Amino acid sequence: MGLEAKQFGLQGLPLVRSKYEPELPPSLKGGNVKVVKGDGTTASDPSDALAITRAYPHTYAQPLVQLVAADAGQVKKHSSLRIGVVFCGRQSPGGHNIITGLFDALKKHNSESTLIGFTGGSEGLFAQKFVELTSEVLADFRNQGGFDLLGRTKDQISSLQQVNDAKAACRALKLDGLVLVGGCGTNTDAAQLAETFAASGCDTKVIGVPVTIDGDLKNQFVETDVGFDTTCKVYSQLISNICTDALSAEKYYYFIRLMGRQASHISLECALQSHSNMVILGEEVATSKMTLFDVTKQICDAIQARGEQGKYHGVILLPEGLIENIPEFYALLQEINSLLKQDVNVENISSHLSPWAAALFDFLPNFIKKQLLLDRESDGSVQLSQIETEKLLAQLVETEMTRRSKAGIYTGKKFNAICHFFGYQARGSLPSNFDCNYAYVLGQTAYYLTEAGLNGYLATVSNLKHPVDKWHCGGAPITAMMTVKRWLRGPGVSQIGKPAVHRAKVDLKGKPYEMLTQNANTWLMEDLYRNPGPIQFDGPGSDLITLTLLVEEHDYIGKIQELCEYLDKVKQIVKPGCSLEVLNAALSSMASVTDILSIMSTPAYRGLTPF
């Protein structure tokens, strides 16, 4: 807990940043905000709807809401509210601005309202450890990185005991609202708490906010999450520096593993930013079912091709989730996880593995074996971030290049690798202007959703690729973002059959990936490195956003509105009194449209889509 840590105040750039005033979109700029309800929501996959309705009877199918500017007059006084806030997910740049946004909106409408911060994350919530947040305390945390204002602990609110403890805390503290800050897991938890509270007559409304560096809380309502922008910029800065370094010394291949958990969004964005020679996305590997040897071969072939052009340096990006997307490795991880849950002694694991898993395990270098067995996540599973995939691959590549050399296939200079893991050095970064603004706006949005008595919603901001004055704020029921996983095997499956907000994978049909594939060969061979430089807060480049956000299409809400306009138009044209021809044309056209849509929406049809 950093409440006392900054007692001597900020200095230098952090001080300057603490004075930065995040921009607000038109809906929040004026004094008053109206929460407008739209249509009821549904699950994106109709075949999941039943499971979600059953699990979330009180909070499923709630309407989408929008915030719109109300009359510009005096700021309306709201009744005094008590809201609690918790950092549940992992630290991510911008988290503090969720709190300052929430605080400023809360106090603006009633200075008697109270914002309670649970200290020590979810465990603080369970144990009712908290502080009242004041403008004095918050002054030193405005636009600052990390989660050190309140700290954090466990990622998940999973047991019944924990849910009951959370409810007890909300009741004891008479909270009107509880805001959970985090990623997919946290927001699934938020939906669960909202449902439980609603079912058991607890009045506290639960609101989630999308904050995670991983960029994987992304769906029709959420365009990106808070922290992804800053994190990708810090990693890209370092990767680009290393690209320049590689080109200066011309003798090393840098294998860089990037944080980002199962999905490869960070690695993709960093590749687009830095034009690194190569990136291997977990999603590509899973889709093409590449083995460890296929991945090794792909890298070796690239090194050989570059060697033939006299190039003996390069930069290769590897997402930390790569390893579990390699089919045989995934199987091995599953077996180890299950044995560890059965409390099989670490020393005996090898003898309990299936023959094929044991063969792979025995083949692996000792350091990897140790990492597979000794580092555990809080849920007991293998801690992916501790597996040095970059070293494993560098070693396999070195062995293969030596073999090719001896066989006379590769005639270039000796292959030299240097390995890096970029993870923890970005999560505490000062957030970029984008993340400062986005988080602050989300925080304010979360206030208005709570004040409107909404429960089980995620605060959302859309149109993010445009300047802040074009942003739209709103809220979407978290249940509308849930899916149910049915496959028994496949990366990232942990809760089969239980509805959850799942981590979005990189869309291999999406624009960012298309941008990569179009350039991949040029970037591999030509060293067209690009250095975005360190994050700038002032002057040129200070308002750049990620390329992922820039090239992706994000106008789900806009399109829904456009569709409603079409439907209205048809009604307008085919008013009673219109000619029979027009009515017949409308009827046959609409019959055909509904036929097509019905077929496209059946589970069987959707099941054909890979991933």
- Which of 168, 531, 552, 560 is in the footprint of its own copies by CB under 8 A? 531
**Which listed range, 140-148, 198-206, 509-517, 555-563, lies at the site for its own copies (CB under 8 A)?**
140-148
Residues 12-31, interacting with its own copies (CB under 8 A): 12-14, 16-17
Which residue is associated with the tokens 């299409």? 553
Residue 470 marked as a ligand binder: no
Q: What is the spatial distance between Cα 92 and Cα 266, in angstroms, rounded to a whole number?
A: 13
Q: Which is nearer to its own copies, 256 or 473 (CB)?
A: 256
Residue 490 marked as a ligand binder: no
- Which of 535, 545, 549, 557 is in the footprint of its own copies by CB under 8 A? 535
**Which listed range, 350-358, 445-453, 525-533, 545-553, lies at the site for its own copies (CB under 8 A)?**
525-533
Shortest distance in whole angstroms from residue 308 CB to its own copies: 17
Question: Cβ distance 385 to 259 under 8 Å?
Answer: yes
- Which of 172, 538, 575, 579 is in the footprint of its own copies by CB under 8 A? 538
Q: What is the spatial distance between Cα 410 and Cα 408, in angstroms, rounded to a whole number?
A: 6
Q: What is the spatial distance between Cα 154 and Cα 121, in angstroms, rounded to a whole number?
A: 7
**Which listed range, 102-110, 142-150, 292-300, 339-347, lies at the site for its own copies (CB under 8 A)?**
142-150
Task: Centre a 10 Å sphere on the Cβ of residue 607 and count the other Cβ atoms it contains.
Answer: 10
The closest of 407, 373, 41 to 191, measured between CA atoms, is 41
- Binding of residue 156 to its own copies (CB under 8 A): no
Residue 375 marked as a ligand binder: no
Task: Centre a 10 Å sphere on the Cβ of residue 456 and count the other Cβ atoms it contains.
Answer: 28
The closest of 152, 80, 75, 79 to 115, measured between CA atoms, is 80
- Which of 18, 276, 429, 445 is in the footprint of its own copies by CB under 8 A? 429
Measuring CA to CA, how many Å separate 562 from each of 44, 212, 555, 567?
19, 31, 10, 9
- Binding of residue 390 to its own copies (CB under 8 A): no
- Which of 250, 398, 507, 552 is in the footprint of its own copies by CB under 8 A? 250
What does residue 475 show for φ and ψ, rounded to 5 degrees?
A: -150, 150
Question: Cβ distance 218 to 458 under 8 Å?
Answer: no
What does residue 180 show for φ and ψ, rounded to 5 degrees?
A: -105, 130
Instruction: Supply angle C-alpha 235, 241, 244, rounded to 5.
Output: 140
- Binding of residue 122 to its own copies (CB under 8 A): no
Question: Each residue of 9-37: b (16+ CB within 10 Å) or e?
Answer: ebeeebeebbebebbbbebbeeebbebee
- Binding of residue 512 to its own copies (CB under 8 A): no
What type of residue sits at position 54?
Answer: R
Q: What is the SS3 assignment for 342?
A: coil
Which of these is catalytic: 165, 214, 229, 435?
214
Helices 265-274/228-249 angle, 10° precision: 50
Q: Which is nearer to its own copies, 425 or 561 (CB)?
A: 425
Q: Which is nearer to its own copies, 142 or 152 (CB)?
A: 152
- Binding of residue 128 to its own copies (CB under 8 A): no
Q: Which is nearer to its own copies, 541 or 558 (CB)?
A: 541
Residue 82 marked as a ligand binder: no
Question: Cβ distance 45 to 21 under 8 Å?
Answer: no
* Contact string 351-380 vs its own copies (x = CB under 8 A): ---------------xx-------------
| DSSP summary character for residue 415 | P
- Binding of residue 147 to its own copies (CB under 8 A): yes
Active site residue 203: no
Annotated binding site for substrate: 212-214, 251-252, 259-261, 320, 424-427
Enumerate binding residues for its own copies (CB under 8 A). 1-2, 5-6, 8, 11-14, 16-17, 87, 90-91, 120, 144-148, 151-153, 234, 237-238, 240-245, 247-250, 254, 366-367, 418, 420-422, 424-430, 526-541, 544
Catalytically active residues are 214
User: Which residues participate in the annotated binding site for ATP?
Assistant: 154-155
**Which residues make up each annotated binding site?**
154-155, 212-214, 251-252, 259-261, 320, 424-427
